[in-house]
Amino acid sequence: MIKDLAAREDGTVRVSGWVEKVRDQRYVQFVVLRDETGAVQLVNGGVLREPDPENPRSDVLVPRTTTISELTQGSFVTVTGELQHNERVKLGGVEVQIDEIEVVAASLPDNPVAGDSNIDVRLDWRFLDLRRPEQNLVFRVQTAFLHALRQVWVDRGFIEIQTPKLMASASESRAELFEVEYFEGKAFLAQSPQFFKQMAQAAGFGGIFEVGPAFRADHSFTSRHATEFTSIDTELSWIDSPEDVMELHEELLVAGLTAVKEQLGAEIEKLFGIEIEVPSRPFPRIPLAEAKEIVKAEGYEVPRADADMDPEGERRIAAHVRKKYGHDFVFLTDYDASIRPFYHMRNPENPQLTRSYDLIYRGTEISTGAQREHRIDVLEAQAVEKGMDPKELGFYLDFFRYGVPPHGGFGMGLNRVLMLMLQQQSIREVTYLFRGPNRLLP
């Protein structure tokens, strides 16, 4: 691999990769070759032609091969040559003098994404767009982040589960659900593993986690919405309050960001020009009603007093927290029961409020968490209050008829976290293959 060349001694090596750039001069040719681990400069120098006895001045340099002149960007080649360490070479301090070059798979000359910054064009040709070092780095960041989260869960004794994405009935309501044909009937694509996470609490699993797809039939065309996304979910038993959930949430995010900074921070700074910030604990906590008053005092009023914080409000409260606390995260707590699901536990001191939160990261909501209601009589009453028929929630409510411990958890959008962490303009940039209202390909 190219990343291993710097540690090798000078001598014969064999490398393979994609042609990124060709500089063809009269008597020397340079090729930048890239694989998934990095890039290296290849050099094709000139050789002496046999002198003409009748013309002593006929010695001239000629290229060793014409193959390089014909190389197209993106062609996959294998090169055998002499590795040479040269501190003057900016690309890693090494170069390879070409002895042999084999074109394993030639590329068409008209690369459709070369120099094109249009996101839709790049998504049409995503496999080519993903060859860019920045895109490669995005998914190594994702890998490091998720591995660190899994390490926290495993160290705590949590169990990883995989919940089904085909459901016989709507999880909460039929809003934003995809309905699909299922043999002689209908099924729904899961927008959340919520009920199945809670089933694990009834089953005695205790702490559980899942990283998997979720689907929402949302016609939004914003930079942070998708119809299919990766959801990070966790649920844990034996909690006393939503503080237990928020503390786990903090631990996971600090571990994930620490791993990214330690393993990939230098590359991120080089390619994205940003420094990964690891947040301090605890994260600031502000009740939703107070947050609305704060942004109102600073010149912005959330349109509806009985509604969730809107995107502009999220940006405003994040700016306030950044200025006051120097923090990129803030928990907005104590959401009104009218804007929360029926299974969120109410505040015993004020039943109009729930024991729930949203987590805002750099001005965008990335997660919703809560303590769940585990008492069957209260749960049924809250479902009815929301206009739901308990009979349609039969399989879910049955969990609570046989004893469920106090529990809570959260769901968090992976793609939003990556977008905000790397300060990208859209989740399209940090999603392997984006799905939206007008995109089902590739």
Binding-site residues for ATP: 365, 413-416
Q: Which helix (H) or strand (E) holds 78?
A: strand 76-85
Sheet holding 166-167, edge to edge: 166-167, 185-189, 179-182
Concatenate the DSSP letters of all residues of 148-177 into one string.
HHHHHHHHTT-EE----SEESS-SS-STT-
Can you say which residues are annotated as belonging to the binding site? Answer: 172, 216, 365, 368, 372, 413-416
3-state secondary structure of 51: coil
Q: Quote the CA–CA distance of 204 and 378 in Å, as a whole number.
A: 21
Angle at the Cα of 207 from the Cα atoms of 204 and 209, rounded to 5 degrees: 120
- Dig out the tokens for 306 from the structure: 């009985």
CA distances from 65 to 39, 68, 95, 427, 430 (A): 22, 7, 18, 45, 40
Can you say which residues are annotated as belonging to the binding site for L-aspartate? Answer: 172, 216, 368, 372
Per DSSP, 400 falls in state: G
State the SS3 of 193-252.
CHHHHHHHHHCCCCCEEEEEEEECCCCCCCCCCCCEEEEEEEEEECCCCHHHHHHHHHHH
Cβ atoms of residues 422 and 407 within 8 Å:
no
> Measured in Å, how far apart are the chain's first and last C-alpha atoms?
29
Residue type, 32: V
